[in-house]
Structure 1
Amino acid sequence: MPTQSLTQPVLRRTFSVSNPPHIGIIGAGVSGLRCADILLQNGFKVTILEARDRIGGRLCQKTLPSGQIVDLGANWIHGTDNNPILELAQLTNTETHSWPANSNLFADDGKLIAQDNANILGDQMWEIILDAFKFADKHTAEIDINESLYDFFCQKATELYPGSGEDEQRRKTLLQMSEMWGAFVGSPVTRQSLKFFWLEECLEGETLFCAGTYQKILAHISEPALGAADIKLSAKVTNIISGEDGTTVITDQLDEIKFDEIVVTAPLGWLKKNTNKFQPALPPRFLKAVDSIGYGCLEKAYINFPRAFWIKEGVDIAQQPFTGFGQWISPSYTPHTNPRRWNQEVVEMGTLPGATAHPTLLFYIFGEQSHALANEIAAISTQKERDEHIVKFFKPYYSLLPGYDESSPDCIPQSTLSTNWVLDDFAGNGSYCNFQVGVEAADKDIEVMREGLPERNLWFAGEHTSPYVALGTVTGAYWSGEAVGKRISLAYGKSNKTWDIPKGGSGKQEQGEISFRGPESALP
């Protein structure tokens, strides 16, 4: 695996306590808030320009009509080894949870696959994914840029089941199961670059569901900025003009603010559509990096019930017929609502710990389905009709879960809530970075964006500039903001510490303990 690099900036000017340098941060998401925290600690004057009417960016919550708070963005904490977000969860008494690996797996005809067979297929699927990590890590230089993770799956599935008859059916099912990878990265498995698959690796340890939501974690991260920075909400940036003695930012309110340094924490998707806002033009290599890295579109739909009908009362959780995850592969029985036979993935929230449990099913969708559902919902004017539309689409799947009874009031949804990040311009019309077939130098592209343009007083932070082991996660956003804050502080002589980029990769793989983003990543 290639090593990561980061050029440390030279000392640029003297820091004046009486007139501290003014640093502008575009975006009040996790990276911007963490960057502000570091800069404020070192005595800088900080202004945050946020296009939304709230802070948090792609990290936000909403309350269901039944009273439960749910995350619209990140649901997960990726890795438990030296993860600052896990430390913040513990500090804020935010509950986390992990479920057993077993899941309910429904075949393309809607029949539940026997648990023993599902376990075998599930183990084989994950083994192929682990093999793909190791293969990509070892052979990244030789792998063709157009080779996908799905191509690797096809090869391995054929090796496992080379024959006809039962072999052919198992091979088919295994390949259908591989489509669940899209719920990890927000794009189809056929688009996942095998050459740079190793960039999907995360910190060691478990992937934990943030059962208590990210609400208290966000509050903790934002506290320093709320207390000491000047935060301008509903401030949409229209121009970023770099000069010899600083950078001027113009907003849609025609405010012109001059800064000594600018930190752009806008999502990669936003950068892709707004590179023309920078004057002078961004360098060709930087533009190529922005254009080359993929941007996924993961959406979610919450369906809330009066009671978690899939849970058997009086039965120990270990003996429940359905806990954690469910998957419906390539459904052939919904030709009117799902003619493309998109896979469906669900996480049940009824077995979350203690007071965090609630009778809700959380569906993850991605790619074309994300665009289709978001646009359909956006065209509906009333919440009642939106609820009906979502229920109509997902009912063929949740009605196959154990305990479902068409005549039971417990099985009639109380409310629904779906996200629409693909229609959100401030989110860059998507979720978070990923690495798609055709990309030639994804690792170097990340480094180019991470390095930024300090010679132009222009820095970049966000999950797309994070250390390799945290790309596309809340941890990555947090680390990236921290890194830029420390680099600017170093440039002004306020710190003598360089930024040590967290490592992952080959050492983890030698131990056979590979972690990765999922079942969905941080953002959203």
Structure 2
Amino acid sequence: MDRLETLDPSKRPHIGIVGAGFAGLRCADILLRYGFRVTILEGRSRIGGRIYQESLPNGHLLDMGANWIHGTEDNPIMDLAKETETSTTDEWAEQAFVFDEGGDLLDPKDAGEYTTMMWEIIKEASEYSRANQHGSEIDPERTLWDFFQEQVPKRISESEKDYEKKRKVVLQMADLWGAFVGSPVHTQSLKFFWLEECIEGENIFVTSSYRKILESVALPALEGAKILLNTVVTSIHGKSTAPLTEKRVRLGIANSDQPLEFDEVVLTTPLGWLKKNLTAFHPRLPERLSQAIQNIGYGCLEKIYISFPEPFWLNPDEEGRTYTGFCQWLSPNYSSETNPNRWTKEVVELASVKEGGHPTLLFYTHGDESRYVTSSLRSMSREKGTEWLIGFFKPYYSRLPGFVEGDESCVPAAVVWTDWLGDDLAGNGSYANFQKGLREGDKDVEVMRLGVPEEGVWMAGEHTAPFLGLGTSTGAYWSGEGVARRVAGKVLGRDV
């Protein structure tokens, strides 16, 4: 690897990186290896971006951002998990726990068949999308929901007993897709559904938190780069706006009259931040790049952790049932006061994992439900918010096996929640996705990935990742590595 460290330190190219998430930290690592001077500007008081943890009173760490490692084959984040002895699991219970719209637990055999059918349809939709990715066969307005409506009748014929009920359950299960991308199945682009694919292999849940992985990714930057925390970038002035004798990129900083100057700048800000700050660029971004930023969707996946003194759901009920793994409550019609829209609920329990387990239920929300929950909580104190969330989710967790009204083990001990929608630095949301109406999704990603090199402005983040890593922590990591090599290549005058 070429190095520049033989140059006078004051003459070594100075690269500014905006954002200290996975993309920014990995970018800094690679640039430091090439010998560049690197400064990271981070608006928060901590590094990690959307990778961070909060603690329960019992000391267990909760990932408020990424929980998962998507894919196990040639995945650097999976490698880091092993190297850092981070606890993970892919051994969820095979038994399906699904409650129907009336709140009754479906027969495990039936629930398993419905769940299998749902995932088969999603897999088929992905294959159908990929097979047509280079043509115009799929109408941009077609959605994953449309595909479900077409496929379910083909798989459940009218000759089957209770076929209408079976079809209804599978279609209700389709709502669960929203927890993967932060947006409803009704708006998921079918044409670009192939862009939602991930690395081959299993999806791995990180049970002991991403903390050690983050520490490993951050170490080179902490040792070799200058990191400016609490430094919010408000404007980006490309090289064409600089005096002819300077040709440097200038960054305006909140609460400062003095801009910071760099030879090149890499923006690893989230897609949502770019959407809301297009006017911060001088000169304006090229029209095609601005269009790409606006075209790609941005999700709103939120998490609510409800922790209990004991995992009551692992205690057998009167019928000998216990609950482990995932559970869903489909389109509930029995909680009209708190959930009149009948939002489907999904939870994963964290008590049964072999390492790092604790008596906590993790609920996922997305779309309009996320917007409703977070906006409601912002006007409340922590105490009132905790009380409100318990009331909102009790109609569901109280149906789990082992729940006994009034039993101390069934009374929540702590509630922790996210509000990415209220986080300006996160771009008021979480993770890129691909919505109906999208016409050139793959090209949009490639345009963002390119950035504006002639202005010294580059872009990275999960929204610019290789296609198999879009919307993932692995993708953010890869994007930082890729953009660093392109920056180094520009300086060295050749591919690196």
TM-score by length of 2: 0.94
Partner of 1:119: 112
- The whole-number CA distance in structure 1 between the counterparts of 2:358 and 2:202 is 23
- The whole-number CA distance in structure 1 between the counterparts of 2:7 and 2:127 is 50
Which of 275, 279, 287 is the aligned partner of 1:276? 279
Partner of 2:243: none
Partner of 2:295: 292
- The whole-number CA distance in structure 1 between the counterparts of 2:451 and 2:165 is 50
Note if contact 2:5-2:12 (Cα within 8 Å) is conserved in structure 1. Answer: no
What SS does structure 1 have at the residue aligned with 2:314?
coil
- The whole-number CA distance in structure 2 between the counterparts of 1:114 and 1:321 is 14
My pick for the range that moved more, 277-286 or 239-248, is 239-248
1:328-339 to structure 2, matched below 5 A, reads: 328-339=329-340
What SS does structure 1 have at the residue aligned with 2:238?
strand
Partner of 1:65: 57
1:463-502 to structure 2, matched below 5 A, reads: 463-493=462-492, 497=496
Q: Runs of 5+ in structure 2 lacking a partner?
A: 241-246
- The whole-number CA distance in structure 1 between the counterparts of 2:476 and 2:36 is 21
**How far apart are 1:455 and its partner, in Å?**
1.4
Note if contact 2:5-2:35 (Cα within 8 Å) is conserved in structure 1. Answer: no
- The whole-number CA distance in structure 2 between the counterparts of 1:103 and 1:47 is 49
What SS does structure 1 have at the residue aligned with 2:54?
strand
- The whole-number CA distance in structure 2 between the counterparts of 1:449 and 1:484 is 11
Do residues 187 (structure 1) and 183 (structure 2) align?
yes
Partner of 2:263: 260
**How far apart are 1:158 and its partner, in Å?**
1.4
Which of 8, 19, 33 is the aligned partner of 1:41? 33
What SS does structure 2 have at the residue aligned with 1:310?
helix
1:453-493 CA distance string (max 9 Å, x none): 11111100000000000000000000000111111122222
Note if contact 1:268-1:295 (Cα within 8 Å) is conserved in structure 2. Answer: yes
Flag the 1:269–1:496 CA change in 2: closer, same or farther, 3 A. Answer: closer
Partner of 1:306: 309
Do residues 136 (structure 1) and 129 (structure 2) align?
yes
What SS does structure 2 have at the residue aligned with 1:426?
coil
Partner of 2:400: 401
- The whole-number CA distance in structure 2 between the counterparts of 1:79 and 1:396 is 34
Which of 98, 103, 108 is the aligned partner of 1:105? 98
Partner of 1:443: 442
Note if contact 1:76-1:208 (Cα within 8 Å) is conserved in structure 2. Answer: yes
What SS does structure 2 have at the residue aligned with 1:47?
strand
What SS does structure 2 have at the residue aligned with 1:303?
strand
Note if contact 1:42-1:494 (Cα within 8 Å) is conserved in structure 2. Answer: no
Note if contact 2:321-2:401 (Cα within 8 Å) is conserved in structure 1. Answer: no
- The whole-number CA distance in structure 1 between the counterparts of 2:204 and 2:464 is 23
1:39-66 CA distance string (max 9 Å, x none): 1111101111111111110110000122
- The whole-number CA distance in structure 2 between the counterparts of 1:495 and 1:36 is 20
Do residues 326 (structure 1) and 327 (structure 2) align?
yes
- The whole-number CA distance in structure 2 between the counterparts of 1:436 and 1:481 is 25
1:239-282 CA distance string (max 9 Å, x none): 11012412101101223111000000000000000011000000
Do residues 248 (structure 1) and 250 (structure 2) align?
yes
Note if contact 1:15-1:21 (Cα within 8 Å) is conserved in structure 2. Answer: no
Aligned length: 479
Partner of 1:345: 346
Flag the 1:445–1:45 CA change in 2: closer, same or farther, 3 A. Answer: same
What SS does structure 1 have at the residue aligned with 2:38?
strand
Amino acid at match of 1:175: L
**How far apart are 1:180 and its partner, in Å?**
0.2
Note if contact 1:187-1:366 (Cα within 8 Å) is conserved in structure 2. Answer: yes
1:171-210 to structure 2, matched below 5 A, reads: 171-210=167-206
- The whole-number CA distance in structure 1 between the counterparts of 2:54 and 2:166 is 41
What SS does structure 1 have at the residue aligned with 2:152?
helix
Partner of 2:358: 358
1:211-265 CA distance string (max 9 Å, x none): 1100011011111111121111111111110124121011012231110000000
Amino acid at match of 1:360: T
**How far apart are 1:101 and its partner, in Å?**
4.2
Do residues 91 (structure 1) and 86 (structure 2) align?
no
Which of 144, 157, 160 is the aligned partner of 2:155? 160
- The whole-number CA distance in structure 1 between the counterparts of 2:214 and 2:465 is 18
What SS does structure 1 have at the residue aligned with 2:327?
strand
Partner of 1:228: 224
What SS does structure 2 have at the residue aligned with 1:302?
strand
Partner of 1:508: none
- The whole-number CA distance in structure 1 between the counterparts of 2:195 and 2:218 is 29
Amino acid at match of 1:188: P
Note if contact 1:58-1:427 (Cα within 8 Å) is conserved in structure 2. Answer: yes
- The whole-number CA distance in structure 2 between the counterparts of 1:276 and 1:327 is 42
- The whole-number CA distance in structure 2 between the counterparts of 1:437 and 1:450 is 22
**How far apart are 1:102 and its partner, in Å?**
3.4
TM-score by length of 1: 0.89
Note if contact 1:17-1:43 (Cα within 8 Å) is conserved in structure 2. Answer: no
**How far apart are 1:353 and its partner, in Å?**
1.6
Note if contact 2:144-2:189 (Cα within 8 Å) is conserved in structure 1. Answer: yes
Note if contact 1:15-1:492 (Cα within 8 Å) is conserved in structure 2. Answer: no
Partner of 1:515: none
Note if contact 1:182-1:189 (Cα within 8 Å) is conserved in structure 2. Answer: yes
- The whole-number CA distance in structure 2 between the counterparts of 1:41 and 1:66 is 40
Flag the 1:15–1:241 CA change in 2: closer, same or farther, 3 A. Answer: farther
- The whole-number CA distance in structure 2 between the counterparts of 1:14 and 1:324 is 51
Note if contact 2:296-2:432 (Cα within 8 Å) is conserved in structure 1. Answer: yes
What SS does structure 2 have at the residue aligned with 1:392?
helix
- The whole-number CA distance in structure 2 between the counterparts of 1:496 and 1:17 is 24
My pick for the range that moved more, 416-425 or 485-494, is 485-494
Note if contact 1:22-1:46 (Cα within 8 Å) is conserved in structure 2. Answer: yes
What SS does structure 1 have at the residue aligned with 2:305?
strand
**How far apart are 1:67 and its partner, in Å?**
1.6
Amino acid at match of 2:216: H
Amino acid at match of 2:437: G
- The whole-number CA distance in structure 2 between the counterparts of 1:378 and 1:274 is 23
- The RMSD of aligned alpha carbons is 1.7
1:93-133 CA distance string (max 9 Å, x none): 10110113433100000000000100111111111011101
- The whole-number CA distance in structure 1 between the counterparts of 2:321 and 2:226 is 51
My pick for the range that moved more, 156-165 or 51-60, is 156-165
Flag the 1:32–1:459 CA change in 2: closer, same or farther, 3 A. Answer: same
My pick for the range that moved more, 119-128 or 240-249, is 240-249
Do residues 31 (structure 1) and 30 (structure 2) align?
no
Partner of 2:42: 50
Note if contact 2:125-2:190 (Cα within 8 Å) is conserved in structure 1. Answer: yes
**How far apart are 1:287 and its partner, in Å?**
0.5
